Each structure stands twice: as structure tokens, then as C-alpha cells.
Amino acid sequence: MNAIKSDSDAVGVILAAGRGSRMRSRLPKPLHRAAGKPLISYPVELLAQCGIEDIVVVVSPENGEAISAVLGSGITCAVQPTPGGTAQAVACALATLPIAPSQVVVLAGDTPLVRPQSLRNLMSDHAGCSSRRMTILSAADAFASDLGHIKRVGAAGASGRVIAIEEASERQDDAIGPAEVNTGVYCFDGPWLADMVDRVRPARSGERYLTALAAMEDGAVSALPIAWADEAMGVNDRLQLSAVETVLRDRINCHWMTEGVTIVDPSTTYIDADVAIGLDTVVLPNTMLTGRTTIGEECEVGPNSVVSDTVVGDRCRIVASTLEEARVDSDVSIGPYCHLRPAAVIEAGVHLGNYVEVKNTRVGSGTAAGHFCYLGDADIGDGVNIGAGTITCNYDGVDKHQTVIGRSAFIGSDTMLIAPVTVGEGAATGAGAVVTRDVPEGRRAVGVPARLLPQQSGSE
């Protein structure tokens, strides 16, 4: 596993070694996706947004390899050899550090709803008190039976002194009403944590809980309530995953509407977390923008469109179509019922009408394909007219071959281009032509198989 990068003032620890058995899945729980990203990505990005570069993710022997592959080389992974509880997990993380940092921030790997400002407030509140050893991010008046309850004494409400955190699995009562709950987000004095974490005794379950530290030093523990209770939501099963997804998507839609994007019906619009959208773009109902899609300014997308991992320029119109891993330049109209498959490059001013499929093909600027076409493994020049029913026959049963169409060519309706084949600049094919040989520049080919028409007098 990777070594920690530096002796930073603050280190982030993400707990992701749980078995996640309630998910009933072969996929490790931290790799289940919400709003298009693995759950584990959210705490990693949260720490980075709060200025913490040194991050240790605690994994299990079973899920470590898969999680490490998703995180990449910039994150340290520490293996918790057996499921011994959160205190043991943090001890495994601290063992990867050359020295105890001044501050340790601990997050769960399955709580993607914590906002950056909440974590900044926690870190600031903790740093503001020199005698503080542990600060907990809490949610007041929350209904969360599976989260630990914070116990206070002294003054009423959130100003009372924290004396313990009672884990859900350890509670003796059956209380299901509102309570101040532990969100699983902590800020610790680093040297104190390093000294104390190995002193935590096992609970009745046999696990050593990090929350037991709250009762181990009188007066040095505090809880900071968050402003939005939804930040406490974690994921233990697929019902909770769905609930978290709903919150994330609502946040994403609200963000883009405040940034100058019109979303006509947010309830039927699904935008992933890594999508970017330009000013004055309109997103119509039943539309999904997924992956790392970028939509330019003044576009109209939808209704009934799916755009995945695609870059779209300005002033484009996409109607009831699917685009995946494609590039679309500005002033392009697409649809309805088009399908842009991976490596489709659509240059400026192109028009693709109904039922046009494009795969691994460059379509030059100003080209039009109005109806019922398949354009695969092709290079199509500028200003080409592609008639209805045109097919690039790119597959011979063994290999894929390329079709090249020169600029300003005219491809007649129902033309079949049997690749590999080239139609030269300014050339034309007749309706129903089956083109098996190259068509030189300026020439016309008609028939089955296509033959070149005689050149007109004076054309040479």
C-alpha cells in the first residue's frame, strides 16, 4: 500500500472496512454508486475540499484491492485484518503515519451527504479550544435508530457537556424518538488519539468502538450540531442508498438552477455529481446527464435524452437521443432518436436527424444526415449531404474497416458503403448504390454494384 505523503498538520482517516452485509451484494459497499460516483469518493473529495491532502482509507482484506483500484495511487490504504471495530480501524490508520499529526479527522466511508462547510466548522471549532481532545459532528432531534446517541450533562440542549456516545447496538432502551445522534464525523487531537485509541476496551459485542473515547476524558469532548439533519444519513442497505441518492440529486439540481440553468421538471431530471452545465442551458423532463458530461451554454437537452461522459458545446439541441462518450461541438442539432456511441466526434453546425447512429466517426462541420443512417468507423468531411438510409458497412465478419467521405460529397438515399472505401471530395452516389470501390473526386457512382458514370465533357 502507499505511504503517507507528508507529516501534515491534519490527516484524514476514512473508515471503509465494514463488511456491508446488509447491502446483500458482491460489490463492496463503499463502491456502490450514488449520483454517479462510488460512495468512497465523497469523503475523499470532502477532505480535499477542506484542505486535507494526507488521507488514509481503512479497508478490509476482502475489499482492499477493489477500493484501492478505485482510489488510485494518491491515497494511502491501511488494512484492518479482522472486523474489530472502529477504534481498531483508526489504530490501523495511525500505524501508517511516521508521527502523530496535530489533528486527525475521521469520517465513515458510507456517509456521502456531509457538506464541506460542516466539516470546516467542525475543524475550526475543535482548533479553537486548546483543551479539546475530541469534537463530534452531531445531528440534533434526528430520527435515526441505527446511529449512536450523544449523552450530555449539565446545561440543557446542545450546550451540555458530552459524557458518552451510546452505540445503537449497545443501547438498553427501545427509544425511537428524536435524539442528538452521532454522524460518525470526528476531529481529534492527534497525539491524544494515538495514545488513547489502544486503551479502548471491547464492548459487549466484542468490538472496540471509537465512540468509547467520549467517556475517557472528562470535559475534553464536545459535540457540534450540524445545520441540516440529512448530513447524518449513512448507507447500510439499499433502501438507505436510495434515500441518500434522492438527497444528492435534489442538491445537484438546486445547485445548477442557482447557477443559471433551467430545469423544467427537477423530479424527472437526473444529473450526476461530476456533470458541468453552462449558463442559460435548459434541461427538459425525463433527461439524464451522467458521468463526467459537460454541457455548454444556451443548449437545450431533452426531453427524454441520456447524455453520458460526453462533451457538448454551446447552443446545441439534443432531442430524445442517447449520447455516450462522444464529443459534440457548438451549434449542433441532434435527434430525435439519435444514438452517438463512443468516439463519435460531431463538429460545429452538424445536423443529425431522426434515427441516426454514429460510432467511432468524425462528422465534419456543416454536414447533414437527416434520416435513418448508420455511420460507423468513418471520417466524414465538411458540408457532406448524407441521404436517408445510408449505411457504412464497416464489419466484414472478422475486422472493422474505415469509410472516408470527402468534403462536399453527396451520398444518395439508401447508399451502402462497403468499407474500406473512399468517396472523394465533391463526389456523389446515386440512390440505392452499393459502393464497393473508391469514388474519385468529383465523380458519380450509381447502381449495384456501383459503377462510375462517364465524366461530363469539359470536366477534365
DSSP state letter for 318: E
DSSP state letter for 245: H
Tell me the per-residue pLDDT of 84-138, one tens digit each, with 9 for 90 and over.
Answer: 999 999 999 999 998 889 999 999 999 999 999 999 999 999 998 888 899 999 9
Distance CA 460, CA 143 (A): 85
Annotated active-site residue in 126, 149, 255, 371: 371
Residue 266, phi then psi, degrees to nearest 5: -55, -30
- Grid coordinates of 70: 478505485
Tell me the per-residue pLDDT of 362-410, one tens digit each, with 9 for 90 and over.
Answer: 999 999 999 999 999 999 999 999 999 999 999 999 999 999 999 999 9
pTM (whole model) above 0.75: yes
Distance CA 437, CA 428 (A): 13
Contact assessment for residue 454 and residue 460, using Cβ atoms and an 8 Å cutoff: no
Packing angle, helices 41-49 and 116-127, rounded to 10: 50
- Grid coordinates of 425: 471530395
pLDDT at 7: 38
How far from 40 is each of 36, 44, 70, 89, 174, CA to CA, in Å? 12, 7, 9, 16, 32
pLDDT at 112: 96
Distance CA 433, CA 285 (A): 41
Distance CA 146, CA 324 (A): 40
pLDDT at 229: 85
pLDDT at 357: 98
Phi-psi region for residue 335, left (φ > 0), alpha (ψ -120 to 50) or beta?
Answer: left
Q: Which residue in this structure is represented by grid cell 443548449?
A: 299
Q: Decide if 371 is catalytic.
A: yes
Kindly state the average pLDDT of the residues 135-164.
78
Distance CA 329, CA 385 (A): 18
Distance CA 325, CA 302 (A): 18
